[in-house]
Amino acid sequence: MDLGDLLRLEAVVPAMKAKSKRQVLQELAGRGAIVTGLSERGIFDVLLQRERLGSTGVGHGIAIPHAPLPGLGRPVGIFARLERPIDFESVDGLPVDLIFTLLSPLGAGADHLKALARIARVLRDGEITAKLRASVDASAIYALLSHGPTTDAA
């Protein structure tokens, strides 16, 4: 799976302004509503519910919020680079500034897990994350993410 299959240019937020995890989730839900045509409130609710189970802050300034979403036909990604890192209750305690959100159809199971693994693999690449942090251009960020590391153990 390629991140280009999940992400569209209009789903990239190159310089999000947010002061809290909740505000980030609200902004992501708004962008998710634009790219999916589904309810912003519904998206926010599933993301918030997932965060209540445990933080999706995976460390090194990265979070990967993810949740199944009723009415969604295919997995959808939303990426945000925060202007200023925020506390996301990450596993390493570090603030987060790179967020890749994955919304999947209900019952996506294995496809959802494969997509999460691919996102994590791309965001583990220090060269890519350094370039993401340095860029404020949505097109450049989209290109980096959609053409990330080509090695994919499927």
In 20-150 the beta strands, taken as DSSP E runs, fall at 57-59, 62-63, 66-69, 76-86, 96-105
pTM of the model: 0.92
Strands 62-63 and 96-105: parallel
Report how far residue 38's alpha carbon sits from residue 25's, in angstroms, rounded to the nearest whole number.
Answer: 15
Q: What is the pLDDT of residues 90-117, one digit of tens each?
A: 999 999 999 999 999 998 888 899 999 9
Instruction: Given the residues 60, 66, 112, 147, select the one marked as catalytic.
Output: 66
- Of 63, 58, 60, nearest to 21 by C-alpha is 63
112 assigned to active site = no
For domain 3-146, is the CATH number 2.60.120.10?
Answer: no
Q: Write the pLDDT tens digit of every residue in 4-52.
A: 889 999 999 999 999 999 999 999 999 999 999 999 999 999 999 999 9
Q: In angstroms, what CA-CA distances link 29 with 1, 60, 101?
A: 24, 23, 9
